[in-house]
Structure 1
Amino acid sequence: MTQPDSATASGSTPARTGAGRTLAVLAYAGVIASLMQTLVVPLLGELPRILNTSASNTSWVVTITLLVAAVATPVAGRLGDMYGKRRMMIASTIPLIVGSIVCAVSGSLVPMIIGRGLQGLGVGIIPLAIALLRDVMPAERLGSSIALISSSLGIGGALGLPIASAVTQYSSWRVMFWVAAGLVGIATALIVTLVPEGSSEGPSGRFDLPGAVLLGAGLVSFLLPVSKGATWGWTSGTTLGLFAAAVVVLLAWGWWELRSPEPLVDLRTTARPQVLVTNLASIAIGVGMYALQLSMPQLLQLPTSLGYGLGQSMIMMGLWMAPGGIMMMLVSPVGARLSAARGPKITLFTGALTMAAGYGVAQLTMGSTWGLELVNIICSTGVALAYGAMPALIMSGVPLSETAAANSFNTLMRSIGTSVSSAVVGAVLAQLTISVGGHAIPTENGFRTVFLIGSAACLVSAMIALAIPVRKAAAARTTAAAEPQKVLAEN
């Protein structure tokens, strides 16, 4: 296996002396990329009026970002391994900027969907940043750095709500997208000027275009009915037909990848027990994490006259959500220290169990604003622990030349979890409703059911985490922190 150059290993390079600066830039870029996922949430109720279309049509403004991100993430990871992670991070910021500008000038549904699709292309920044850390960060800082960047998926989502809510309430919704374009532009400039290039030791041959097309078609065929099944009907011909197509196309993709000399995703690597079981746990974590992000904003904004709504304004809802993102930033280094002492497997288990406990508290405190805030803080603590541990487990189980692709695939697994969560939560809250003023409003039992589902998903993830096979105790203790190359050598 090719090792990183000796300069990097020795710790005497500018990349090491500027490690803090590099981490700050990558963390900022990750937060901005993930912020795009929740950017339009405060606008959802107004989009039919803004775009002069129906509510069912405007749901595509969210769905298209999810679909494009799912397809683009593994592609960006593979290209990062082949041509350089920093280079692909810069390339990923361009559609974010263009998409934000397109959304800012949109006056109808189609250009808004195009702009949001372009924004979805930028989600690959996060797994690319995680993989780049392995190349440029000192061993003693690797674990905490990975934990912070991985948690940026949740941090950006949590902080995006108050930012978008404030801009929307006190200015034009178009300003929100212009601000987003400016923030991404700053990220691009910082990456270009301050972030060093890591190793690109992957194959120099041709990109696996047939594999990318097949994976994209399979993911769209699966995620589209997951996202829209509640609207189309779960037993409709369209829904069932797309699920069947997903099975066929993904099987064909797997057949192709196993025979391709330079596959988009090395399925033999992802089939390694440590990587495979970690990815399974990631799906369950995605389900658990997103259930709270979908339900808490609604609970906060429902009127108090219902007996369980908390009557908060849009901007106050965003402010109540913000401490979750702050907690993730504070807990990330704690999770890295736990991984260094006990192994990332234990950190993942602890994070999943903490999230499950948070949902349990929700059953007792959901009628109180401060009680719901406590749930937000507990669950966010668990997310930070779990999200920091998963990349450490993945990277200790794959060769150095495949870190970006493997992390991108893990990010895809989390996205599948959040997609399933969105479908399940949407179906539950749509089914358990009452009519208020001619509008269907989710009931208290609906939210309690969502919390039970979230808790169950987190408990499943905890059990899966315990089953992750780690070949040597020493490897488990060093994966997320010191001596990462020693672990690689043992593999």
Structure 2
Amino acid sequence: MSAAPPTAAPVLTGRAAKAAHPGLTLLALSVAGAVVSVQQTLVIPLLPRLMTLFDASVTSVTWVFTASLLAGAVATPLLSRFGDMYGKKRMILVAMSLLVAGSVVCAMSGSLGVLIAGRALQGTSSALIPLAIGMIRDTFPRERVTSAIGIVSATMGVGGTIGMIVTGLIADRVTGVDPMFWIAAGLAALGLVLVAFTAPNTGGRTGGRPDLVGAALLAAWLICLLLGISEGNAWGWTSGGVLGLFGAAVVICAVWVAAELRVREPLVRLGLLVGPRSMSANLASILLGFSMFAAFTLISNFVQTPKEQVGYGLSGSVLDVGLYMLPSTFTMLLASSLAGRVAARIGPAFTLATGSVFAGLSYLWLALSNAHGYDMLAFSALQGIGFGIAYAALGTLAVQHVPMDQSGIASGINSLVRTAGGSIAGAVTAAILSGATIAGTRVPTLAAYELCFFIVAAGAALAAVVALAHGLRHRSPDS
């Protein structure tokens, strides 16, 4: 096939390109973003309960969380591309509608398989965050873009904590899991209404065709990779099944890359994935995604581990999981609101490095000291500072160098790799925890948890190094 011609310029629709009420738009996008984050963490405190309800292993139950991230990894670039093609508001409404539908499926599920399918449907809503960032860049005054992106980005952590607290409050009073999903459906419907009535339609449409083949290939190689990681301990890392999955992931990924290079309108523009200014932002994103999502599952299980029985843990309830993470909500909101000013002074790259250092220190604390409740509270506060700063800067770094009509897909690709990092984190930590258990039980050893905390801290530290290198290489006022 011949080289693809350049994409046509956006076609103006005649609609206003600026938000009439930026404050209301930001409120609606923040609420919707928080609801999406709620669904991501809603099930995390329930993982031990789901193991009992379905008589399943930690590896199988972790797919309730991982399936959502995997679906998000595939849906995010697809819906982000649709946002640039047909309008970001329309795709945000689609994402919220899918979240409502997925929540209903989960609430009505009677088996682990159906629950995982519903979670996958919920996960498609992950595309909302990059769509919201693209809308902000399209419609907000330039001086408010960085701070608005920071606030929306912070909803990932804030909503995540809210999800765990809501789950905890209800789980202590019911034996099932369906009430939590009905609440998620109601919250998603509220977010949908707010966006429908307050968010603007942006002024340009690029048109084009969806790359469905690219989406299918992306899903295939991610599934092979994550399934191989998840089943490594159970099947054996050198078994034919695991090696076959890893081999299939490599082959399908190569086919996917070749297809994306040849198709006229690719799902993922590889220049935005591995270009000179995009590569570092995306590499930092996958490392931070690994660190943030790994913490969700690790902290939930660690807090609920009965110390009097196994010698470690905090013997907490489902509600305690959310309460221990509450400090991160406040520090993340504060840090994200200040991140715009910091980035204006030192640039988003150095701001990202600063946030990543704080995030890494939080995990290092927990790896070295985890016997008391105050250790968890200190971790939570430090983590909130780190991710509040880092994600605010990352959202800006991902889109500042691309044309306006590509802001949605650029942000979507950055979100894709972050979600992929989270998917890998769930599979890796589950493999480590299930591979080192106390004799005669399914309970992981303390050493297994501490190894996971060290690995996650290293991921955040590497993100800081990548961001620092980017800032030194691209020295400019907005680098």
Q: Corresponding residue for 2:154?
A: 151
Question: Deviation at 1:125?
Answer: 0.9
Q: Corresponding residue for 1:453?
A: 455
Q: Cα distance 1:53–1:227, how it changes in 2: closer, same or farther (>3 A)?
A: closer
2:340 partner SS: helix
- C-alpha contact (below 8 Å) 1:208/1:262 kept by paired residues: yes
Question: Deviation at 1:375?
Answer: 1.1
Which of 227, 245, 250 is the aligned partner of 2:248?
A: 245
Letter of the aligned partner of 2:460 in structure 1? C
- C-alpha contact (below 8 Å) 1:85/1:200 kept by paired residues: no
**1:89-145 deviation line (CA, Å, top 9, x unaligned):** 101111211111111122223332322221112111111111111011111111111
Q: Corresponding residue for 1:353?
A: 357
Q: Corresponding residue for 1:119?
A: 122
Question: Deviation at 1:55?
Answer: 6.1
Matches within 5 A, 1:358-397: 358-397=362-401
- C-alpha contact (below 8 Å) 2:66/2:423 kept by paired residues: no
Structure 1 CA distance, aligned partners of 2:478 and 2:146?
Answer: 13
Structure 2 CA distance, aligned partners of 1:268 and 1:317?
Answer: 41
Which of 177, 182, 185 is the aligned partner of 2:181?
A: 177
Q: Corresponding residue for 1:474?
A: 477
Letter of the aligned partner of 2:410 in structure 1? A
> How many residues get paired?
469
Matches within 5 A, 1:272-283: 272-283=275-286
**1:132-177 deviation line (CA, Å, top 9, x unaligned):** 1101111111111111212222222222111112122224522111
Question: Deviation at 1:231?
Answer: 3.6
RMSD, matched Cα = 2.5
- C-alpha contact (below 8 Å) 2:107/2:179 kept by paired residues: yes
1:44 maps to 2:47: yes
Structure 2 CA distance, aligned partners of 1:371 and 1:56?
Answer: 27
Unaligned runs of 5+ in 2: 1-7
Unaligned runs of 5+ in 1: 477-491
Matches within 5 A, 1:26-425: 26-51=29-54, 57-171=60-174, 172-202=176-206, 204-305=207-308, 306-425=310-429
Q: Cα distance 1:440–1:106, how it changes in 2: closer, same or farther (>3 A)?
A: closer
Q: Cα distance 1:67–1:238, how it changes in 2: closer, same or farther (>3 A)?
A: farther
1:475 partner SS: coil
Question: Deviation at 1:18?
Answer: 1.0
Letter of the aligned partner of 2:29 in structure 1? L
Q: Percent identity?
A: 38
- C-alpha contact (below 8 Å) 2:19/2:199 kept by paired residues: no
- C-alpha contact (below 8 Å) 1:335/1:385 kept by paired residues: yes
**1:353-390 deviation line (CA, Å, top 9, x unaligned):** 11122223224431110122111110221111111111
Structure 1 CA distance, aligned partners of 2:222 and 2:204?
Answer: 27
Structure 1 CA distance, aligned partners of 2:401 and 2:316?
Answer: 46
Structure 2 CA distance, aligned partners of 1:359 and 1:55?
Answer: 22
Question: Deviation at 1:85?
Answer: 0.6
- Which one is further off, 416-425 or 76-85? 416-425
Letter of the aligned partner of 1:308 in structure 2? Y
Letter of the aligned partner of 1:439 in structure 2? T
Q: Cα distance 1:67–1:224, how it changes in 2: closer, same or farther (>3 A)?
A: farther
Structure 2 length as normaliser, TM-score?
A: 0.91
1:398 partner SS: coil
Q: Corresponding residue for 2:442?
A: 440
- Which one is further off, 157-166 or 461-470? 461-470
Q: Cα distance 1:112–1:443, how it changes in 2: closer, same or farther (>3 A)?
A: closer
Structure 2 CA distance, aligned partners of 1:113 and 1:352?
Answer: 32
Letter of the aligned partner of 2:262 in structure 1? R
1:45 partner SS: helix
Letter of the aligned partner of 2:172 in structure 1? Q
Question: Deviation at 1:414?
Answer: 1.1
Question: Deviation at 1:16?
Answer: 4.4
- Which one is further off, 357-366 or 368-377? 357-366
Structure 2 CA distance, aligned partners of 1:71 and 1:161?
Answer: 25
Letter of the aligned partner of 2:448 in structure 1? G
Question: Deviation at 1:269?
Answer: 3.1
1:332 partner SS: helix
- Which one is further off, 55-64 or 231-240? 55-64
Question: Deviation at 1:398?
Answer: 1.5
Letter of the aligned partner of 2:277 in structure 1? Q
Structure 2 CA distance, aligned partners of 1:165 and 1:364?
Answer: 27
2:33 partner SS: helix
Letter of the aligned partner of 1:142 in structure 2? V
Q: Corresponding residue for 1:488?
A: none
- Which one is further off, 462-471 or 238-247? 462-471
Structure 2 CA distance, aligned partners of 1:70 and 1:400?
Answer: 23
- C-alpha contact (below 8 Å) 2:17/2:203 kept by paired residues: no
- C-alpha contact (below 8 Å) 2:19/2:200 kept by paired residues: no
Letter of the aligned partner of 1:309 in structure 2? G
Structure 2 CA distance, aligned partners of 1:174 and 1:34?
Answer: 18
- C-alpha contact (below 8 Å) 1:85/1:131 kept by paired residues: yes
Question: Deviation at 1:46?
Answer: 2.5
Structure 1 CA distance, aligned partners of 2:95 and 2:235?
Answer: 33
Q: Cα distance 1:63–1:401, how it changes in 2: closer, same or farther (>3 A)?
A: same
Structure 1 CA distance, aligned partners of 2:290 and 2:110?
Answer: 34
Structure 1 CA distance, aligned partners of 2:363 and 2:109?
Answer: 39
Structure 2 CA distance, aligned partners of 1:364 and 1:222?
Answer: 31
